[in-house]
Structure 1
């Protein structure tokens, strides 16, 4: 096992997943990559309620995206500062898009051997209505997925 991917969303579960991935990496001499994904809400969300934000949305999209990437980078750095990753290669990346799609694409493109990710513990009803990034990754990943509960 050479490469481990860890999706991070700032939750307690994703922090625990990062710790678990580091532990595994130390045992196998693996490298670890932390990934977080930013996704701007679409204007369709607001149009459903009769609010037209298209012009404002597109005018400020670059600034909003830049700020989100900055904040997510800070979050990743903060988490990295709490990890004991001596003697392993640790990298991070911030991507834009739909979280599960970006995680799956990255894992396949960079040929990761394992994905370690957290699960927040939504109820069955909450997962039904809002979906679950973890569930989508488990269903479609090309490699094993280790799920760490909150």
Structure 2
């Protein structure tokens, strides 16, 4: 068990089983040491909009769930999370009502988890957008890019 997996265990964090793609695409692609992760939603498969069915705080938890899902796929892809050199870029698509303004607070659930697990290597560039509609009416979908050791 790698150092990151031991850290997860010490924090009482159990990763879900890595999800499979929902259609004809790859879960991830590695090019020149960068792992591009396909968009992931929360493991609970909640449905609905922030500002309507869900609060910002609930959205934060959904984004954290997405982070756990991403970590599970990373571990499945790399064999160990210790091969993650850095979280590079995070892009969130938050399913919201038109007047919702706290997208950044929702995506913090994902970002905070990356900092918690990878510390300085968890520091990343990011952007977040409100969406009028996302796949399966999920409350949030996150795309992410990681620098990884070649496998």
Between structure 1 and structure 2, the one with the greater Rg is: 1
> Do both share a fold (TM > 0.5)?
no
TM class by shorter-chain length? 0.3 to 0.5
TM-score norm. by structure 2 comes to 0.33
Kindly indicate which of the two structures has a greater share of residues assigned to helix: 1
